[in-house]
């Protein structure tokens, strides 16, 4: 029974990390794409300093988040504010951590 459960979990994980289908045709394909997108979405609250409407400097991701998920963050990230505005930012890495910068 444990063997079956592990296989199902591995298949489910592989299904979620597969690339998004660019042209989902069936309802099942659309739902799978939605699940894949949710799996790749992380919610992290950060405090930023605004001066004249611009973010000053860079935002450093928390070390625990960087350690756990840093290898899954691509070169660009999309940030969404409380009013559902979306901002694409550059992700920069160095020895101290992962930073969200220009965007």
Q: Where do we find the tokens 């739902």?
A: 31
Measured on CA atoms in the order 15, 16, 22, 23, is the torsion positive or negative? positive
Length of the chain in terms of residues written: 103
Alpha-carbon span 13 to 7, nearest angstrom: 10
Which positions ≥6 away from 96 have C-beta within 8 Å? 60
Q: What is the pLDDT along the chain (103 residues), one digit of tens a residue?
A: 455 556 555 556 666 667 778 888 999 888 888 887 777 777 767 666 654 555 556 777 778 777 777 777 778 888 777 788 888 888 888 888 888 787 6
Cβ contacts of 11-16, under 8 Å, gap ≥ 24: none
């Amino acid at each position: 029974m444990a063997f079956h459960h592990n296989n199902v979990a591995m298949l489910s994980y592989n299904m979620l990390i597969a690339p998004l289908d660019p042209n989902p045709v069936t309802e099942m394909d659309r739902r799978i794409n939605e699940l894949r997108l949710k799996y790749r979405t992380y919610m992290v609250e950060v405090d930023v300093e605004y001066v004249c409407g611009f973010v000053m400097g860079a935002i450093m991701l928390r070390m625990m988040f960087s350690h756990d998920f840093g290898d899954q963050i691509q070169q660009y990230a999309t940030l969404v504010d409380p009013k559902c505005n979306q901002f694409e930012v550059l992700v920069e890495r160095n020895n101290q951590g992962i930073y969200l910068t220009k965007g």
